[in-house]
């Protein structure tokens, strides 16, 4: 008699989540995907994972918690008198996207959904919106991407350019890494084979101008 083999769930198995988000948020995710040349599904997954461990994002969402939940080392209290966000409609036209999340991330998401008293897909939509509006995440995401695709010398040159632009900026606003990368792509995407080539061309032009 053959022993029946137990099926085990793979530790790296991913769960599909299909949140409905605004067209503006979807376009923002797709633009970030385009800027960093990273698949949309990977960008969305990273946004969710970063948001779930961000104290700033969780503190923002906690104002809507209807049930208590412990996230990392913080215990958030809920209040059932708060109105549910489940059926609150988003402004503007919306579309559904599909995201595949690792099992661990999905479990953290369901905890967030429990606290918000919404479905996991709705919690994902709220998490995406809150996380992508966090400028700290966007800048860190783009900076990490650049570090992976530029050598140390180019990264140092790029930091010097960023410092010069922000020091001499007459508009009293700081130019972020994401804004710089977006500008570089808009200016140099024609004829450049990759981001490294684009930035090197831009740095060469900048250095010639400064001489």
In-domain check, residue 122: yes
Cα Dmax for the chain: 83
**Is 39 in the same domain as 120?**
yes
> What pLDDT does 167 receive?
74
| Total number of domains constituting the chain | 2
From 107, 133, 159, give the residue that closes a domain. Answer: 133
> What pLDDT does 9 receive?
47
**Is 101 in the same domain as 148?**
no
In-domain check, residue 1: no
**Is 129 in the same domain as 165?**
no
What count of other Cβ atoms lies within 10 Å of the Cβ of residue 160?
13
Q: What is the separation of C-alpha 32 from the centre of its chain, rounded to a whole number of angstroms?
A: 8
Range of the domain at 178: 142-210
DSSP assignment letter at 102: E
> What pLDDT does 195 receive?
67
Measure Cα distances from 11 to 14, 15, 175 in Å. 9, 11, 41
> What pLDDT does 169 receive?
63
Q: What is the separation of C-alpha 2 from the centre of its chain, rounded to a whole number of angstroms?
A: 48
**Is 104 in the same domain as 187?**
no
> What pLDDT does 5 receive?
43
> What pLDDT does 201 receive?
72
> What pLDDT does 148 receive?
80
**Is 116 in the same domain as 35?**
yes
Beta strands at 69-71 and 99-102: parallel, antiparallel or unpaired: unpaired
From 81, 101, 133, give the residue that closes a domain. Answer: 133
* 151, burial (CB in 10 Å: exposed 0-12, middle 13-18, buried 19+): exposed
Beta strands at 69-71 and 74-76: parallel, antiparallel or unpaired: antiparallel
Q: What is the CA radius of gyration of the chain?
A: 21
**pLDDT tens, residue by residue, 100-119:** 999 999 999 999 999 999 99
> What pLDDT does 162 receive?
73
**Which mean pLDDT values do the consecutive 10-residue runs of the chain (211 residues) have?**
46 84 89 82 93 92 92 85 80 86 94 94 94 83 79 76 70 67 62 65 67 56
């Amino acid at each position: 008699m053959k022993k029946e083999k137990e099926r085990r769930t793979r530790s790296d198995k991913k769960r599909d989540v299909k949140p409905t988000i605004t067209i503006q948020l979807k376009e923002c995710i797709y633009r970030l995907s385009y800027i960093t040349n990273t698949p949309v599904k990977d960008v969305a997954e990273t946004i969710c994972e970063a948001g779930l461990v961000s104290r700033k994002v969780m503190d923002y969402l906690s104002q809507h918690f209807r049930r208590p939940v412990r996230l990392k080392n913080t215990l958030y209290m809920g209040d059932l008198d708060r109105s549910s966000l489940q059926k609150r409609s988003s402004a503007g036209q919306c579309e559904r996207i599909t995201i595949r999340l690792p099992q661990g991330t999905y479990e953290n998401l369901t905890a967030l959904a429990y606290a918000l008293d919404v479905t996991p897909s709705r919690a994902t939509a709220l998490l995406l919106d809150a996380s992508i509006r966090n400028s700290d995440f966007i800048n860190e995401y783009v900076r990490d991407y650049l570090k992976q695709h530029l050598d140390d010398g180019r990264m140092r040159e790029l930091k010097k350019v960023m410092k010069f632009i922000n020091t001499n900026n007459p508009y009293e606003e700081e130019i972020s890494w994401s804004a710089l990368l977006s500008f570089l792509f808009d200016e140099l995407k024609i004829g450049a084979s990759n981001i490294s080539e684009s930035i090197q061309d831009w740095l060469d032009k900048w250095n010639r101008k400064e001489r």
